[in-house]
Structure 1
Amino acid sequence: MQRVEAAQTDPEDPRKAFPRSDTAAAPVGSRSERVVIRITDLVMSYGGAEPVLAGASLKVREGEFVSLVGPSGSGKSTVLRAIAGLHAPAGGTVERFVSLEDMGFLFQDDALLPWRTAQDNVALGLRLRGKSRAEARAEADQWLSQLGLAHFGLRYPRQLSGGQRKRVALAQVLALRPKLLLMDEPFASLDAIVRHRVTQELLEWVEREKITVLLVTHDLEEAQALSDTIYLLSRGPRALIRSRYEVRIARPRDLIHVRGHPSFAPLLQRIWDDLWDEVDVDGGGA
């Protein structure tokens, strides 16, 4: 277990966590109760300024897909940085029952190296984990093929479209087989059709491998279509978790058809109404 800030020992044994499974995703109501992330009374600030977060608490279970939504400036991305160990809390605790090696982070802007081909960008993490060059490249080719880029491995990032680069970045992360995936609006820059295709591919892989996911997004429909649980942060600074919503739609899901589920529109309206209450109209909104 990785713990940021002192806390009492947790009774759950992290050594028993994360059995791998190739079976289909579990239906609603049968998910593990094993905790992967527990955040308690988290306080985050930058340079001694007024805290962005002032006592936020949440938890993420094994195999759960969780989204964070809220107004701009509410600290959504800050929560991810605290979990990843990129920013130390000013107060409270962050408990992560998974090692950094088993965690992936997909950023809004891809982190591809411009002087490396798509194949070598995907292979890089595998090489750092001890794979031979031939093994890493062969595995990279498999991932690129799964994401529809079988014939693009020798192209450089500048020779790829935005959607293709995003798929390479996704292959780069998934090739390391993370047990916990953090995503900070990774598809916001893509057009609607490409965004749908890439997101659907990611969702299918997450459901098949039972990867635990924490997503930051401004898109409420995307959050609901993808998630098991949604947390709404209040307006910042000094943001808190205002509400928690359960999305009771069975998996696997199709991102188009899930919007026609009888529970989709009522829950979307509820989240929208709660978010509207938090929007600072004079300060620029969400």
Structure 2
Amino acid sequence: MTSLTASQAWTRAQLNAQPRYAIVEAGLLPDEARTRFLKSDFSRRSIMRQNEFAELREYGPWLVDVSHLTFDEFSTHELFSVRQALMGWISSDCPGDQLNEHLSDALLAKNEVEEVFLIRSYAPEVLPLLHNRPDLPWHPWLFGPLKEWWLPTDDNDWQCFEGGCNKQLSEYHPITLDAKLWQALELDPLGYNLVTELERSAPEVFTSSCHGDRLTQVEKAIDTGRKEGLETPEDVSLFATLNLFDREFPGNWSKWSQAKTLVQEKKLPLGHAMRRLSE
């Protein structure tokens, strides 16, 4: 960790003509502030570059060039004053388009069986956990093009995470989350899988275009299924899907208690139990 304050680090980068970039998650801005942000004159790039995220770009993270501002100007600017939407600022010698490409690649992670998930790798609650795993092979790739990444803290201060100071991107190395990271991040792969599948097959079940909101919506449905006593991923996923399509399910189905009995006592998959009771 650097011994400099955020203000001192900013001034040093400014004197060295080193670019500085803010990351703003537009979906966390109030509607009026988000409109101002998207119409502002700041040079900015959507980090959600992938085509499958096209509908989420307006609400997702943006890389904003703030090199022309002093630290005080940056800290007090109306577009960066909403702390819950400001994901921090970065100093880097890597060109902005390459850095944006890199951060976009870092939105995707794999688990140990090669399933791909979207993660908020840039978020203050996620980045420190990733930075704390230099034992994993993707770590030098992820932090290589960064000089410093300053994250906002709860006490209205800043915390610095140092990178490799590379001027060019290294060969892509996908982020793979081991069991320890899954637990630390409190991530449920079932929720990520279900969001991905529903975004592809039934996006109408979602009440928001923000990926974070969609994940929260799915996780609530999954939690409801588990509270009903369902255990297997297949049963929980089916329950959550039905609940997302019909918010009254299972309360509006008179045979739900019978279905649960078949699942819990007869060990039938939920889908089979529901078909049997519907015949």
Normalized against structure 2, the TM-score is what? 0.25
Higher relative contact order (CA 8 A, sep 6+): 1
Structure with the higher helix share, 1 or 2: 2
- In proportion to residue count, which structure has more strand? 1
